[in-house]
Amino acid sequence: MADEQFSGRNPSRRQFLIGGALAATSIMAVAATPRPSGKPLAKGGLDKAIPRQIGAWRHTASSGLVVPPQDETEARVYDQVLTRVYAAPTGAPIMLLIAYGGGQTGMFEIHRPEACYPAQGYVLSGRRDVAIPVTAKETIPAIFWSADSDIRSEQLLYWTRIGDYFPKDWAQSHLAVIGSNLNRQLPDGVLVRLSSLGNDKDEALQSLEAFSRLLIESLRGHSRRLLVGSL
């Protein structure tokens, strides 16, 4: 019996079935592959999305912040990182860091302050869970920390978003990625961190909360989604 070949003009029934099975497998694999859940962020899009004036605060500088480590892993996590310092007529300046990654796979973790601050000599203490209002009924779960080093004290407030989830730790982050992947989505992710220098925790928290609310209120459309998802 002659050997079967897949190059003939008239494929046999067996060849036809095998070809159909392979095609079906390919279609299923493509269908099951997670797709990006959000609109891609153009180069420089993060800088354009965030206003340079937020309430009484105006952008004055882009340095002096504790930033994620500049290594190969960080480059694979984040597509764009924005750092700014805002000043108002009264009160301490507010430092804003926003780090955005277009596709969170779960293989790499958002660099939370709990990791990058101690790595740069800070001791974190006094954690508080904070609910930041987004709408009349919706809030974002955020975390407040005091960070102290030999040279300065910093009060910081931050939240993370992965898709439409707002995880508060490593485990929740990975569950958020898994939940999105099960819906065949490759979620984008963002770290939003606000901080100010000084020792007065209550005063700093009040100022950081006020700034965060004004920041969210100032955003529309895709710019708003970057920080708060579909809320």
Report how many domains make up the chain: 2
For 38-52, 89-103, 201-215, which range has the lowest pLDDT when averaged over its residues?
38-52
pLDDT of residue 181: 79
User: Residue 218 corresponds to which amino acid?
Assistant: S
pLDDT-derived band of residue 209, with 50, 70 and 90 as boundaries?
very high
Long-range contacts of 150-154 (CB under 8 A, 24+ apart): 150/121, 152/197, 153/197, 153/198, 153/199, 154/66, 154/122, 154/195, 154/196, 154/197
**Do 193 and 220 have their domain in common?**
yes
**Do 91 and 135 have their domain in common?**
yes
pLDDT digits (tens, 9 = 90+) for 115-124: 889 999 999 9
Answer yes or no: are the C-beta atoms of 195 and 207 closer than 8 Å: no
pTM: 0.78
**Do 10 and 57 have their domain in common?**
no
**Is residue 37 scored above 70 in pLDDT?**
no
**Do 101 and 186 have their domain in common?**
yes
**Do 69 and 118 have their domain in common?**
yes
Greater confidence (153 vs 182) lies with: 153
**Do 8 and 94 have their domain in common?**
no
pLDDT of residue 158: 98
Residue 130 to residue 202: CA distance in whole angstroms: 12
| 91-129 burial: b if 16+ Cβ within 10 Å, else e | bbbbbbbbbbbbbbeeeebbbbbeebbeeeebeeeeeee
Q: DSSP of 140-209, one letter per residue?
A: EEEEEEEEE-SS-EEEEEEEEEETTB---SHHHHHHHHHHHHHTTEE--EEEEEEEEESS-HHHHHHHHH
**Do 6 and 112 have their domain in common?**
no
For 33-42, 54-63, 216-225, which range has the lowest pLDDT when averaged over its residues?
33-42
Domain holding 4, by residue range, is 1-33
Answer yes or no: are the C-beta atoms of 157 and 126 closer than 8 Å: no
Residue 210 to residue 155: CA distance in whole angstroms: 14
**Do 99 and 45 have their domain in common?**
yes
For residue 41, CA distances in Å to 56, 80, 183 come to 28, 9, 21
Average pLDDT over residues 136-148: 96
- Mean per-residue pLDDT over the chain, rounded: 81
**Do 28 and 127 have their domain in common?**
no
For 76-80, 90-94, 117-121, 190-194, which range has the lowest pLDDT when averaged over its residues?
76-80
Residue 140 to residue 228: CA distance in whole angstroms: 8
